[in-house]
Amino acid sequence: MQTATHELSKLVEEILKLNATKEGTRVVLVTTHVYDERMADAFRIALNNLNVDFLRLILPPKATPNHRFGNPLTKYALEVMKTADLVVSLSSYTWWPMAYAPSPVGKIWMHSDEFTEVMMSKIRWLDVMIPEEAMRRLFPTEALIKRTIEGAKAMAKAKEIRITSSAGTDLVLRKDGKKGHRQCGIANEPGMWDNYGFGLVACGPLKNSANGRLVLQPGDYMLQLMMEVKDKVEITMKDGRITKIEGGFSAKILEKWLAQWKHPDSYYPAHIGWGTHLEGAIWVGSREFTVADAESYPGIMQIAFGRNVFDTTHPMVGLAGQNVTPSHLDLQCLSTSFYLDGEPVVKEGQIVHP
C-alpha cells in the first residue's frame, strides 16, 4: 500500500538526514531513463525541504553491440557526479535476476570501472532499490549500525574465514589484508557507498584461496535466479574455483546459470559475509521479501561468485577484487556457522559474536 507522497517525503527526509544531508549539501539525484516518478518526487520534495543544493540527473539509455541496454554512466555524467557531496541513485526496479550486466532498462553498475572512478573522488553514494513498503521496516537503527560496524572491524582483522554446517558445508577461504566491508543503509562519510535498507558484513576473499565444500539446503536462496533451493546442492571448490556441482533440480539450474556466461571467473568467489538486520529483515515466503531481506537476514551466510571490481577510498567499504566476468551470483544459506580465525561469529544461523 502506498502512502501519500508528502508522507513518503517525510520518511525520505529522515533517510537523508542519516546520510549527513543538510543545508548546503550538494546532491545529485540520479536515475536511468526509466524510473519511479513518485519516488523521485518524494526525494525532490525532501531535498527542497532540507534546503539542499541539488541536481536531478536522468541518464539516457546506452545500447551495446548485442542490442541490450548497457551501463549508462558516461564520462560527462561521471564528471557531474564528482562535483557532488552525495549521489542518491534511485532504481526503477527492486531486482533484476540476470546479472550486474544488461537489464531491460539499463543499470548503473556498481562493479564497474566507471563506478569505482566516481567513488575514488571521495564522494558519498546511497543506492535506494527497495520498494516503498519496505523502506520503513528496514530503516537503519542505531543498534543495526553499531552491530554492522563492529562486525566489519572483526572481519578486517581476520586472515582466515571458515564456514560449516550440519548439512556438510566445510569451506575455508583466506582474506589476508582485505577490507571488512559493511552495509547498514548510511553513507555519511567521504568515500562511503551504501545501499538503503541493507545490513550486512562482507569481504572479497583472495581469489585462489577457497577450498572445501559448500552445501545448499532446501530453504536457502539463489538471488539472481530468484529461486528458493528445492533440494540439496553440493558444491566442491579447489584452489578458489568451483570444480563440481552435484544434486538434483536446483543443482542443474545453478550449473546452467553459471555455464551460460562462458567465463572461467564466474566460478570464483566474489565476496562472503553474514546478515546483520535483526530488527526488520524477513525471509522468503512473504510478499514483502526484497533483495535487502535476502542479503541482510540476521545470521544468513552469503557467498557470491563472479564480478567483484568494486572499491572506494573508505576503509570499511569495498571488495577490491579483480574479477571482471559479466556475471555475479549471490547464494544465501540459513543454518551456517561462520568463523573468523577460528572464533565463531555466527553459529547455525545465529549471530553469537559480542
Does the pLDDT of residue 32 top 90, yes or no? no
Query: What pLDDT, on a 0 to 100 scale, did the predictor assign at position 111?
Result: 79
Q: Which pLDDT score, from 0 to 100, does residue 257 have?
A: 97
Q: Which long-range contacts (CB under 8 A, 24 or more apart) does 94-98 make?
A: 94/129, 94/130, 94/131, 94/290, 94/291, 95/129, 95/223, 95/226, 95/290, 95/291, 97/223, 97/224, 97/225, 97/226, 98/224
More confident residue, 103 or 299: 299
Q: Global pTM?
A: 0.92
Is the domain of 169 the same as that of 226? yes
Running DSSP on this structure, what letter comes out for residue 103? B
For residues 172 and 310, state if they share a domain.
yes
pLDDT tens per residue, range 302-316: 999 999 999 999 999
The DSSP bridge pattern shows strands 241-247 and 193-195 to be: unpaired
Domain membership flag for residue 153: yes
The answer to whether residues 152 and 252 belong to one domain is yes
Of 254, 256, 257, 210, the residue nearest 232 (C-alpha): 254
* Mean pLDDT over the full length of the chain: 91
Identify whether 134 is part of a domain: no
Residue 96 pLDDT: 42
Least confident of 30-39, 160-169, 215-224: 30-39
pLDDT at 288: 87
Q: Is residue 135 part of a domain?
A: no
Q: What average pLDDT score do residues 282-289 get? A: 88
Q: What is the DSSP letter of 168?
A: S
Terminal C-alpha separation, the chain? 38
Residue 137 lies in a domain: no
Phi, psi of 266 (to 5 degrees): -65, -15
Looking at the fold, whether 99 and 228 belong to one and the same domain comes out as no
Residue 83 placed within a domain: yes
Note the pLDDT of residue 98: 37
| pLDDT tens sequence across 40-97 | 999 999 999 999 999 999 998 776 655 455 667 888 999 999 999 999 999 855 444 4
Question: What pLDDT, on a 0 to 100 scale, did the predictor assign at position 67?
Answer: 46
The helix (H) or strand (E) run that includes residue 104 is none
DSSP state of 197: T
Which carries the bigger pLDDT value, residue 20 or residue 100?
A: 20
DSSP per-residue codes, 117-155: HHHTTT-EEEEE-S-HHHHTTTPPPHHHHHHHHHHHHHH
Q: Among 70, 95, 129, which residue terminates a domain?
A: 129
Within a domain: 39:
yes
* CA distances for 134 relative to 21, 282, 284, 287, 302, angstroms: 22, 10, 14, 11, 21
Residue 236 has pLDDT above 50, yes or no: yes
Q: What percent of the chain has pLDDT over 70?
A: 92
Is residue 160 located within the same domain as residue 124? no
pLDDT of residue 91: 84
* Host H or E run for residue 28: strand 26-31
What does the pLDDT read at residue 102? Answer: 41
Average pLDDT over residues 257-283: 97
- Residue 20: per-residue pLDDT: 97
**Residues 316, 197 share a domain:** yes
Q: What is the pLDDT of residue 106?
A: 55
Rounded distance between C-alpha atoms, residue 65 and residue 59, angstroms: 19
Assess whether 40 and 157 both reside in one domain. Answer: no
Give yes or no for a contact between 310 and 110, defined as CB atoms under 8 angstroms apart. yes
Listed range (12-16, 127-131, 297-301) with the worst mean pLDDT = 127-131
Containing structural domain, residue 263: 142-351
Q: Is the dihedral of CA 289, 100, 311, 94 positive or negative?
A: negative
Instruction: Report pLDDT for 269.
Output: 98
Residue that finishes a domain, picked among 129, 157, 177: 129
pLDDT > 90: percent of the chain? 81
- Judged against a pLDDT cut of 70, whether residue 151 lies above it is answered with yes
- Mark whether 122 and 165 lie in a shared domain: no
Question: What pLDDT score was predicted for residue 93?
Answer: 53
Q: 104 in a domain, yes or no?
A: yes
User: Could you write out the DSSP letters of every residue in 43-79?
Assistant: HHHHHHHTT-EEEEEEPPP-B-TTSSB-----HHHHH
166 Cβ contact list (under 8 Å, min separation 6):
335, 348
CATH at residue 63: 3.40.50.2300
The structural domain count of the chain equals 2
User: Quick one: 125 and 159 in the same domain?
Assistant: no
Within-domain flag for 156 = yes
- What backbone torsions phi and psi does residue 164 show, to the nearest 5 degrees? -140, 165
Per-residue pLDDT, 312: 95
Q: Are residues 148 and 249 in the same domain?
A: yes
| Residue 163's pLDDT band (cuts 50, 70, 90) | very high
Q: How far is CA 132 from CA 79, 115, 288, in A?
A: 30, 25, 10
Mean pLDDT for the stretch of residues 210-218: 98
Residue after which a domain boundary falls, among 97, 129, 161: 129
At residue 2, the pLDDT reads 54
Is there a single domain that holds both residue 125 and residue 147?
no
- On whether both 148 and 124 belong to a single domain, the answer is no
